[in-house]
Amino acid sequence: MDFNTPKLTVRDIIKDIQKEVQRGDLKAPRAAEILTELAALIGNCNDEIRNRDMEYNKKLLVCLETEEKANRAKIKAEISPEYQAKREARDTKELAIELIRSIKYFLKSLEEEKQTSKFQNG
């Protein structure tokens, strides 16, 4: 095991999958494999969102305690690294869901194309 290799995050894995899908040379077996992998990663995304929401809520609470007005506290909290991490976690899940939808559509199209060619040739 190589301990010097940086550990990939869920976000990195999903971004790599996105790049692979964008290349346009995806075959059905690999698409099905990616679909399964993305579905499994949704749980990791949910865990990350839950953790990031909690961190942001703690930051917001601190801002509410130090600011006189709630709207200012919210603005201050929304420019924090905690808010950025929260958004990143949600965006990662959204990307995973969109990739799942896209791959499902791709696989359905391949199946319909296969059925159409079977009727035309048979």
Establish if 120 belongs to a structural domain: no
User: What's the structural domain count of the chain?
Assistant: 1
* pTM of the shown model: 0.84
Domain range for residue 79?
Answer: 28-110
Establish if 7 belongs to a structural domain: no
For residue 1, the model assigns a pLDDT of 44
Establish if 15 belongs to a structural domain: no
The pLDDT tens digits along the chain (122 residues) read 455 667 889 999 999 999 999 998 999 999 999 999 999 999 999 999 999 999 999 999 999 999 999 999 999 999 999 999 999 999 999 999 999 999 999 999 999 888 888 777 65
Interatomic CA distance for residues 121 and 1, integer angstroms: 52
Establish if 4 belongs to a structural domain: no
H-type helices in the chain, by residue range? 10-23, 28-66, 70-78, 81-121
